[in-house]
Amino acid sequence: MNPACAPGTPSTTARALQERAHRLIPGGSHTYAKGDDQYPRCAPPLIVRGEGCHEWDADGNRFIGYALGQRCVTLGHGRREVVEAASRALRDGTNFNRPSVLEGDAAEALLELVPSGEMVKFTKDGSTANTAAVKLARAATGRRIVGLCSDHPFFSYDDWAMGITPVDAGIPPENVALTGTFRFNDLASVDALFDRHPGDVACLMLEPCRPDVDPEPGFLEGLRERCTRHGAVLVFDEMTTGFRFHMGGGQALFGVAPDVSTFGKAMGNGVAISAMVGPRSLMDLGGLTTPEPRVFLLSTTHGAESPGLAAMREVIRIYREEGVVERLAATGERLRGLVQDAIDVSGVGGAVDVRGRPQGLLFGNRDPEGNPSQAYRTLFLQELIRRGVLAPSFLVSNAHTDADLDRTAGAVSAALAVYRRALDAGSVEGFLDGPPSKSVYRRHN
Ligand SMILES: Cc1ncc(COP(=O)(O)O)c(C=O)c1O
């Protein structure tokens, strides 16, 4: 193999494509989480194509990928039946001046999975679905304040969510003042939020669980009870819980029904589709018969474009037929065991850990003092990339085979040997080629 084109050594052609992307696209990417500042310098600058759990860079190197497509591709890239369903929809016309029959078919298919909902509006991404949930809650309650769970990393690129992060440029302070926060598994913080804004909290929004943090017994029930008592709307963001931990999301897993929930990510296996689901009493405010002032709910040209809806129906069929959630769990559990074995023999002690639900495996990286470390995380990613593994986390897909997991385990072992030497050296200097990755939530570059 030409060493200039081995994984982790992008060619001048690949670097030129990367420079072009930065010249033409702010940040060089349409999603900040994919940015150069999130990866070691040796990361493949651009991806050309994917198949199953494999991805090829511009130099033709093949990587085993994890958390495919920002966690939206759970069946693997190019899953044939989904591609065929979306292609058929493309051929039959993607969009019409009157609603398509498919819109009703898709609504039925999704609502079957989410008993808390009676109606649905489809859109294309999670941010717009969550923003619509906020708008609906405000309209239904006549209140202003959005209560966000501050332990959860991302809900939307819109003002009501980004305003409370350091990246608040362009967001008027008066908008920021309309968002309040509470902590996960901390009902006292929820009570404090309601106390701070008496009669003005429109909704609480949170993920019902994180890959590595479950709700404590009584927490979700406590939220449910408080929202009902205070007349606020309970919104579950099921972008990452739905179709990964349970088809019906955390509400099915933990048995607590929100008022409104939002789904996206894996439900189209990478074809753009997301949804807001809720009871008729709320959703009908966006309908044509409400006597209340009309809510201009999600209404976009591409909201119910056919390929996304067709892909979603096929994804649901495959999930049911193949027991995808259970398969993801079995695959993740096997990978956890392999990675844990590698950690145990590596001598890195607690500096690297693997944790979380098997379908949502995360890893943590610490420095020699035991503090979470972006520099050591970047080193770990670098050493995996050099061995053909592109893993911002270890979220598996239905396409990962035992052979992929075994190869990953080999890469992890070798990466940990380097990590161990860097721990002994007390710093990543001399080990890390390029700067450490940075948090996306920073005010300045
Ligand atoms: C929990 C959660 N909610 C909402 C979003 C926003 O979704 P999208 O990126 O599709 O706008 C994300 C995206 O990462 C997410 O993880």
Measure the CA–CA gap between 215 and 210, rounded to whole angstroms.
9
What token pair was written down for 283? 């959703």
Burial of 217 per CB tally in 10 Å (0-12, 13-18, 19+)? exposed
Measure the CA–CA gap between 266 and 239, rounded to whole angstroms.
8
Q: Mean pLDDT, to the nearest integer, of 195-202?
A: 98
Residue pLDDT, tens place only, 82-127: 999 999 999 999 999 999 999 999 999 999 999 999 999 999 999 9
Does 344 score more than 60 pLDDT? yes
The mean of the pLDDT values for the chain is: 97
Measure the CA–CA gap between 191 and 205, rounded to whole angstroms.
14
Does 283 score more than 60 pLDDT? yes
Does 40 score more than 90 pLDDT? yes
Q: For atom 4 of ligand 1, which residue has the closest CA? A: 155
Residue pLDDT, tens place only, 293-318: 999 999 999 999 999 999 999 999 99
pTM of the model: 0.97
What are the E-state strand segments in 101-229? 119-123, 145-149, 179-182, 201-206
Measure the CA–CA gap between 398 and 342, rounded to whole angstroms.
23
Residue 62 contacts residue 55 (beta carbons within 8 Å): yes
Binding site membership of 125 for ligand 1 (Cβ less than 6 Å): yes
Non-local CB neighbours of 271 within 8 Å, separated by 6+ positions = 82, 86, 307, 308, 311, 312
Q: Mean pLDDT, to the nearest integer, of 272-280?
A: 98
Which atom, in ligand 1's list, is nearest to the CA of 157?
A: 11
Residue with tokens 């690949």: 14
Binding site membership of 241 for ligand 1 (Cβ less than 6 Å): no
Q: What is the pLDDT, as a whole number, of residue 86?
A: 98
Does 1 score more than 70 pLDDT? no
Does 275 score more than 70 pLDDT? yes
Binding site membership of 141 for ligand 1 (Cβ less than 6 Å): no
Which ranges of 197-348 would DSSP assign to H, the alpha helix?
Answer: 219-230, 250-254, 280-283, 306-322, 324-346
Residue pLDDT, tens place only, 47-62: 999 999 999 999 999 9
Binding site membership of 254 for ligand 1 (Cβ less than 6 Å): no
Does 387 score more than 90 pLDDT? yes
Residue 314 contacts residue 82 (beta carbons within 8 Å): yes
Binding site membership of 154 for ligand 1 (Cβ less than 6 Å): yes
Say which DSSP state 363 is in.
E
By C-alpha distance, which of 309, 304, 433, 314 is closest to 10? 433
Q: Give 211 Cα–ligand 1 centroid separation in angstroms.
A: 14
Binding site membership of 126 for ligand 1 (Cβ less than 6 Å): yes
Q: Mean pLDDT, to the nearest integer, of 358-380?
A: 98
Q: Mean pLDDT, to the nearest integer, of 164-184?
A: 98
Q: What is the pLDDT confidence band of residue 278, given thresholds at 50, 70 and 90?
A: very high
Does 160 score more than 70 pLDDT? yes
Q: For atom 14 of ligand 1, which residue has the closest CA? A: 154
What token pair was written down for 22? 């930065």
By C-alpha distance, which of 130, 85, 129, 121 is closest to 103? 121
Say which DSSP state 246 is in.
B
- Around Cβ 225, how many Cβ atoms within 10 Å? 14
Structural domains of the chain, ranges and CATH numbers in brackets: 3-77+323-425 (3.90.1150.10), 95-304 (3.40.640.10)
The length of the chain in residues reads 445
Q: Give 264 Cα–ligand 1 centroid separation in angstroms.
A: 8
Measure the CA–CA gap between 400 and 239, rounded to whole angstroms.
22
Q: Mean pLDDT, to the nearest integer, of 399-405?
A: 98
Q: What is the pLDDT, as a whole number, of residue 5?
A: 78
Q: What are the Cα distances from residue 317, in Å, to 109, 122, 241, 320?
A: 9, 18, 18, 5
Does 171 score more than 70 pLDDT? yes
Q: What is the pLDDT, as a whole number, of residue 317?
A: 98
- Around Cβ 190, how many Cβ atoms within 10 Å? 24
Residue 350 contacts residue 412 (beta carbons within 8 Å): no
Q: Give 38 Cα–ligand 1 centroid separation in angstroms.
A: 17
Does 2 score more than 70 pLDDT? no
Which atom, in ligand 1's list, is nearest to the CA of 33?
A: 14
Q: Mean pLDDT, to the nearest integer, of 360-369?
A: 98
Residue 286 contacts residue 243 (beta carbons within 8 Å): no
Q: What is the pLDDT confidence band of residue 4, given thresholds at 50, 70 and 90?
A: low
What is the percent of the chain with per-residue pLDDT over 70, rounded to a whole number? Answer: 99
Residue with tokens 């717009």: 128
Q: Give 82 Cα–ligand 1 centroid separation in angstroms.
A: 22
- Per DSSP, the three-state class of 276 is strand
Q: Give 426 Cα–ligand 1 centroid separation in angstroms.
A: 36
Tell me, what amino acid is at 74? Answer: T
